[in-house]
Amino acid sequence: MSETQSDLVNASDRILRSEHATLTARLGALERRLGLHRGIVHELEVEYAVLQRLLREIDELSDRRPQLRIERLDKQLKGRRIQEVAIELLRRRLQPEEVVHYREWFGMLTAEGFEIAGRDPLNTFLTSVGRADGVVRVGRRSGLYRLA
């Protein structure tokens, strides 16, 4: 290899190493930003669900008809009913191969007026739908699901 070719190879290697370092740093920064934004989205989903629940309770208190209380019972999900309602919601909203993150899925469910019974509704939801027959996980520990 001539000296000129060797200089070109060395320059090329330096450029590639520099670009690799730059991209690695950008990727790390994006991962941190993504984590921050996911946390913000989760907080907003929780706050949104709480405000929806409070509005429903105010509506029920202002109109004490018995059917409103029965509707509320139907909207409180637990056990197998969580899976049934959550999967039906996905069938209505997603295309067959479309994926959804469980937090977004939980947000869809609460936006429809449903509540998950339990001390930690999001965790109860995730545990329940993780065992559901109608969905499959996409990847390992990604939080993504699609219809089976």
SS (H, E, C) 80-143: HHHHHHHHHHHHHHCCCCCCEEHHHHHHHHHHCCCEECCCCHHHHHHHHHHCCCCEEEECCCCC
Token duo for residue 79: 């056990």
Domain span at residue 67? 3-147
Report which residue type is found at 102. Y
Give the distance between the most distant pair of CA atoms in the chain.
92
Please write the tens of the pLDDT for every residue from 24-83: 999 999 999 998 998 898 888 888 888 888 887 777 676 554 444 444 457 889 889 999
Please write the tens of the pLDDT for every residue from 8-36: 888 889 999 999 999 999 999 999 999 89
| Residue 121 dihedral angles phi and psi, to the nearest 5° | -55, -40
In whole angstroms, what is the distance from residue 111 CA to residue 55 CA?
12
The enclosing H or E element of 120 equals none
Q: Is the whole model's pTM more than 0.75, yes or no?
A: no
Give me the number of domains the chain comprises: 1
Token duo for residue 21: 């370092």
